Amino acid sequence: MKTLGNVLASSIGKKAVMALTGLFLVGFLIEHLHGNLKLLEDPSGDAFDEYVAFLQGFGPLLTVAELGLAALFVAHVYLAFRLTLENLQARGSRYERRQSRGGATIGSVSMFYTGVLLLGYLLKHLYDFRFDERFLADPDALVKATLSQPSHAIVYLLVAPVVGIHLSHGFRSAFQSLGLAHPRWTPWIERAAKLLAFLLAAGFAAFPLYFLFFWSDGS
């Protein structure tokens, strides 16, 4: 346990844990998008309602999974703040000069800020759906009623590219933090990161766009 504590106390250890939690969260986003796509596949809403009912059928296991997911989020956010603080304290050192060299992207230079925006979005998302009693009563109806309102749809639409920007760097850097960078693999990982970021951003943007501009009540 002491050795594990020493590893987690180091910058390398924090980055490794942050990378692992980030990759698990990417997996969650992919499955979350997969489930939400049922809203577009079946305009009646039955498929999405059945999907939510299927998840609820796991009972206590679903609660355990949600708690585990929450722990991943908390650990990821905590480590992001810790590492950002350590980087700020290292300004003026050789570390800062190394970081200022080539290779910077929009995703890499805005990771902290996009992360903060995503944290705020997560709280809104939970408030809009997970903690609203109407969601379990009629999931499809609540989603449609929420995303068809411009005040909500615009927020969800604007956050979609933020997800993409954050993942475009986060997915790639996760492999580097885990020591998996390699001249042969890295270019493929970078392409995969860009493709994944685009697909998730476009996927999540599709819902507010559809329900705001193309869906009408009773259609």
Q: What is the separation of C-alpha 92 from the centre of its chain, rounded to a whole number of angstroms?
A: 32
Residue carrying the six token digits 């296991």: 61
Q: Is the dihedral of CA 67, 71, 74, 80 positive or negative?
A: negative
Q: Please, how many CA atoms are within 13 Å of residue 126, restricted to the half-sphere of its CB?
A: 9
* Per-residue pLDDT tens digits for 79-138: 999 998 888 887 655 444 444 445 688 988 999 999 999 999 999 999 999 999 899 899
- The pLDDT value recorded for residue 6 is 62
Q: Cα separation of 156 and 209, whole Å? A: 9
Mention the CATH class of domain 11-214.
mainly alpha
- Domain ranges in the chain are 11-214
Structure tokens given for 75: 């650990």
Which residues neighbour 83 within 8 Å (Cβ) at sequence distance 6 or greater? 11, 14, 15, 18
Per-residue pLDDT of the chain (219 residues; tens, 9 = 90+): 555 566 667 888 889 999 999 999 999 999 999 999 999 999 899 999 999 999 999 999 999 999 999 999 999 999 999 998 888 887 655 444 444 445 688 988 999 999 999 999 999 999 999 999 899 899 999 999 999 999 999 999 999 999 999 999 999 999 999 888 778 888 899 999 999 999 999 999 999 999 999 887 754
